[in-house]
């Protein structure tokens, strides 16, 4: 049995834009991933507003770099860690550049690979987990949003595709798996940012297919 940790933001947590609540367990993409792959256990570690390495004013505990070591220790031993972060960085810090977020992702990858060597590690004698980077889905421009949207959306329509390219380059540099979420799903027009139940399922299926194609696991 292989073990996977999915560490991310509200898309991992399962934010439902239309009802402003959480998608059902079976619809959240980490659980779709678990149901699709043979012989895997998936740990969900999602939190709305989580960043790669930034503090988020009025939202304590959102710094991914601070809390990743805790999540790793809780779920260890692990065969794979999926890092699905980035969208919240420009919300937490105005003027945040995609390259800054890609650099932060590189540090998160190092944190995963240092798990066996971490101070007080509960699994000091294992191999480091493999890593997958998932770039965020694209968002919709504010003019296309049917409900309450964020003014940052217009900038994000350019920011997120640039981040995806940088993440793809980083995955090649760091020899990790990579999935571009925008290839599998589309944002909910209600807020232009989160996913409806159909699209969060599509994301889980797409990531599962990517892992099968890369030989990590087999599908059910």
Q: Within a 10 A sphere around the Cβ of 128, how many other Cβ atoms?
A: 14
How much is the pLDDT for 125?
A: 78
User: HSE on the CB side for 177, CA within 13 Å?
Assistant: 24
How much is the pLDDT for 152?
A: 85
- Token pair listed for 67: 């809390």
Task: Report d(CA 141, CA 191) in Å as an integer.
Answer: 10
Q: How does pLDDT run along the chain (220 residues), one tens digit per residue? A: 999 999 999 999 999 988 889 999 999 999 999 999 999 999 999 999 999 999 999 899 999 999 999 999 999 999 999 999 999 999 999 999 999 999 999 999 999 999 888 887 778 778 899 999 999 999 999 988 888 778 889 999 999 999 999 999 999 999 999 999 999 999 999 999 999 999 999 999 999 999 999 999 999 8
Question: Where are the domains positioned within the chain?
Answer: 2-213
How much is the pLDDT for 220?
A: 87
E-only strand ranges, the chain: 2-8, 15-16, 21-22, 40-46, 80-84, 130-135, 177-180
Contact between 218 and 197 (Cβ < 8 Å): no
Query: Cis peptide leading into 144, omega within 30 of 0?
Result: no
How much is the pLDDT for 75?
A: 95
Task: Report d(CA 83, CA 175) in Å as an integer.
Answer: 14
- Return the CATH number of the domain spanning residue range 2-213: 3.40.50.1110
Question: Collapsing DSSP states into helix, strand and coil, what is residue 13?
Answer: helix
Contact between 87 and 156 (Cβ < 8 Å): yes
């Amino acid at each position: 049995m292989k073990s996977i940790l999915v560490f991310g933001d509200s898309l991992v947590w399962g934010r439902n834009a239309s009802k402003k609540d959480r998608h059902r367990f079976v619809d959240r993409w980490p659980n779709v991933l678990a149901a699709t792959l043979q012989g895997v256990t998936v740990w969900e570690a999602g939190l709305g507003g989580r960043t790669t390495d930034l503090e988020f004013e009025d939202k304590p505990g959102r710094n991914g770099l601070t809390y990743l070591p805790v999540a790793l220790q809780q779920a260890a031993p692990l065969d794979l860690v999926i890092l699905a972060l980035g969208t919240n960085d420009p919300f937490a810090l105005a003027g945040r550049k995609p390259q800054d977020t890609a650099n932060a992702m590189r540090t998160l990858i190092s944190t995963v690979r240092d798990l066996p060597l971490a101070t007080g590690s509960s699994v000091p004698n294992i191999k480091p987990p493999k890593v997958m980077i998932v770039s965020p889905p694209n968002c919709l421009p504010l003019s296309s949003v049917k409900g309450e949207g964020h003014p940052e959306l217009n900038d994000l329509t350019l920011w997120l595709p640039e981040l995806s390219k940088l993440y793809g380059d980083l995955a090649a540099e760091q020899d990790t798996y990579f999935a571009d979420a925008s290839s599998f799903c589309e944002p909910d027009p209600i807020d232009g940012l989160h996913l409806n139940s159909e699209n969060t399922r599509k994301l889980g299926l797409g990531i599962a297919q990517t892992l099968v194609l890369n030989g990590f696991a087999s599908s059910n």
